Amino acid sequence: MVLVQGGSGLPGNIKPDKTDTPVDQDVVTFDAVSGLAIWQPPPGASGGEANTSSNSGTGEGLALAKVAVDLPFKSLKATAPIIIGSDATSVTYSFSTTPALGTPSTLVGTNITGLPLTTGVTEVLPIANGGTNLSAFGNALEVLRVNAGATALEYAAPSSGGHTIEDEGTPLTDRTKLNFVGAGVTVTDDSGDDASVVTIPGGTGGTIIDSIECFMEVAESTVAFPDIHPMTTSTNHKISGWVLPDVTLSTINFKCKVPDALNSSPAAKIRVTMSTRDGAVASAKVNLQVLTWNIGDSEDMDVAATNTETASDQDLAATNDTLEIYEQTLTTQPAAGDLLMGQLIRNPAATNDNFTAGLFIVMIELIITRDT
């Protein structure tokens, strides 16, 4: 088709741009922006296709501006130790040596992998950044722990394995916990002493009651006398003892040895086991008194009585042959290993002694009550 400059129009009512001057080999091309037909170089000559190249994204771009029919791109250039290679279809890069990380002034990264942390690192990693703030390992078998001042980490030998728990000498299976149970048992933490304090309330271990039989002896010029008392029902059954008669003041001497081992201060008393043989009446009484001497080793026996207890009136049963107990607590306690000497005295002349027969003394004992 021949286009005559200055013509009135083109097919489709497209008007030419009359201000556009063609050059050699130009062809008519429609310009959608102006809506006019304009002169342009033909495709494949000096202008090429009507397209361009561009970079996508915000990184460093490779595309350059189109030059006539050429679409130029930047080249990939590497510096040591990075090496760039290519083949018919791809470009590759690699490192000629393992690079050192060095000491960067600032390094911010997320999910960074492959960093050569075994070489080239010249500083320690602080605890706040997930490190230990230590530049070297400890010795063999040492553990990493917080120091005593709670200011840093350190390597140190592990603590000992603790105690072996035994039951009556038999070791129990090793466990990580030791549980205390039982009424009153409490366990508290003593941070100042770095200890667990187990409190087991103290309790009494019970008491022991010692009964030491005393030998009964008659004092000189006494009216008391030994006797044998036959039972009424069984005539073949007899018991021996001493009689305090209803005549005048009468005395029975006795003695015994205090035990050598007393764990604590004892409570001592004299116990008299006695009975009536005849003449008993309802509500009858006898007046009795106890005197004792506590004589230690290498001490003089010819001294005043250690305990002169107050005389007391003792009620008697209305039935003969009934054993009765008279007890007198000692004011001054005997010591371990003492020789205890004593006297049991009856005074028929006392106001309330209205028993008109002899009092039969079966046994005299020293009773000691003490803690275990």
- The pLDDT of residue 4 is 46
Residue 21: name the closest of 9, 34, 3 by CA. 3
d(CA 364, CA 64): 132
CATH code of the domain made up of 208-371: 2.60.120.260
- Classify residue 108 by its DSSP letter: -
- The pLDDT of residue 69 is 74
d(CA 27, CA 326): 153
Structure tokens at 69: 């029919």
Q: For the chain, give percent helix, strand, coil, nearest 5.
A: 0, 35, 60
What is the pairing mode between strands 307-308 and 285-295?
antiparallel
Q: What is the DSSP string of 168-183?
A: TTEEPPP-S-----ST
- The pLDDT of residue 38 is 81
SS3 state of residue 38: strand
Asked whether the beta carbons of 120 and 102 are under 8 A apart, the reply is yes
Q: Give residue 84's Cα distance to chain centre.
A: 65
d(CA 157, CA 298): 63
Maximum C-alpha span of the chain: 184
Asked whether the beta carbons of 251 and 343 are under 8 A apart, the reply is yes
- The pLDDT of residue 6 is 45
- The pLDDT of residue 115 is 64
The residue behind tokens 């296709």 is 49
Domain boundaries, the chain: 11-40, 208-371
- The pLDDT of residue 342 is 94
Q: What angle do CA 313, 315, 319 make, to 5 degrees?
A: 150
Cα-based distances in Å from 347 to 17, 183, 253, 281? 166, 56, 15, 18
Q: Give me the tens of pLDDT residue by residue for the chain, a chain 372 residues long.
A: 444 444 455 666 677 766 777 887 777 887 777 778 888 777 655 555 667 788 888 888 888 888 777 788 888 888 888 888 888 888 888 887 766 656 666 666 666 766 666 555 667 888 888 888 888 888 888 888 888 888 988 888 877 666 677 777 788 787 777 788 777 788 888 888 877 788 887 665 677 888 999 999 887 777 888 998 887 777 678 889 999 998 889 999 999 999 887 766 678 999 999 988 776 566 789 999 999 999 998 899 899 888 899 999 998 876 777 888 999 999 888 888 899 999 999 999 999 898 888 899 999 999 998 776
